[in-house]
Structure 1
Amino acid sequence: MISKAARLILNAQFLRFAGVGAGMAGLNAAVLFALVSVLQLHYLTACAIAFIALTALSAVLNKRLAFLLDDRIRWSELARFFAVSGVSLAFNLLFMSVLVGGFGLHPLIASLAITLPFGLFNYLGHAVFTFGASDHLSDRAWDGGRIGESR
């Protein structure tokens, strides 16, 4: 018998999630380049701006493209998406610190080493906690309606 976690990973939804993630990684690199090289912001400031903006975009894209749900984003979903992403970021920084600072790995090698486990963590967190949790009918969507609709 296959566990719920294994069933979630072994379907097309995970591949769509990975595709959105790959696109977001490329966009993150472009945003960081623009903020640091063009606008000459400090790299940590640039990382914070990119994390906030791109995590919000990732929530919208993953809900619609990876999980094939309606495009109405609820505040509770956005909060859960940021919670999962924030936990992932904290553990990512911890593991990077251990692998680079403690074991002396090159940062790119360390980053590649943790990509798959963190991708799986993020997918399972969003599949079960972010978009798998039930929302109350009273929960308001962004702009009081569907994304992209004008008021």
Structure 2
Amino acid sequence: MISTKLKDQFIRFAVVGGICTAVNYVIFIALINFTEIHYLVASTIGFLTGLVTGFYINKNWTFSRDDEANKSYFMKYLLLYSFSLAVNLFILDFLVENYHVSEIFAQVVATGTTVLSNFFGSKMLVFKA
């Protein structure tokens, strides 16, 4: 049986993820449409912007950690999401280059693959909430 706390945290994580994904995609699409930046660079910039946004909201709202270990939490969060970014970029590039999927759709697929690992990694490794 799944605990109420776990359900609440996952719902909050999903809301924060939606916000961060929106930030990520707005930046990604703007860079793709209005600059000459390569789609992998655009994805990285969008991802990092969403990462910083997500860290602060997840720390303070999803997992309710308001102690002074900000630097420690952020380093763990950064490591977790660096792995996530690597997986995201691999899937994005694989779909675009091998299957000629549009960059925007491939980014949706790549992002969707990392949701559960990001939640459980944040919960168990970063914030231990």
| Corresponding residue of 1:103 | 99
TM-score, normalization: structure 1? 0.64
| Corresponding residue of 1:16 | 12
Alpha-carbon distance change, 82 to 70 in structure 1, aligned in 2, over 3 angstroms: same
Structure with the larger helix share? 2
Q: Which runs of 5+ in 2 are unaligned?
A: none
| Corresponding residue of 1:128 | 124
Identity of aligned residues (%): 26
1:39-118 correspondence to structure 2 within 5 Å: 42=37, 48-70=44-66, 72-118=68-114
Q: Size of the alignment, in residue pairs?
A: 127
Alpha-carbon distance change, 71 to 50 in structure 1, aligned in 2, over 3 angstroms: farther
Q: CA deviation at 1:118?
A: 0.7
TM-score, normalization: structure 2? 0.73
Is the 1:17–1:123 contact (alpha carbons within 8 Å) kept by the matching residues of 2?
A: yes
Kindly indicate whether structure 1 or structure 2 has the higher relative contact order, using CA contacts under 8 Å at least 6 residues apart: 1
Is the 1:55–1:85 contact (alpha carbons within 8 Å) kept by the matching residues of 2?
A: yes
Alpha-carbon distance change, 46 to 101 in structure 1, aligned in 2, over 3 angstroms: closer
Name the CA distance, whole Å, in 1 between partners of 2:120 and 2:27. Answer: 26
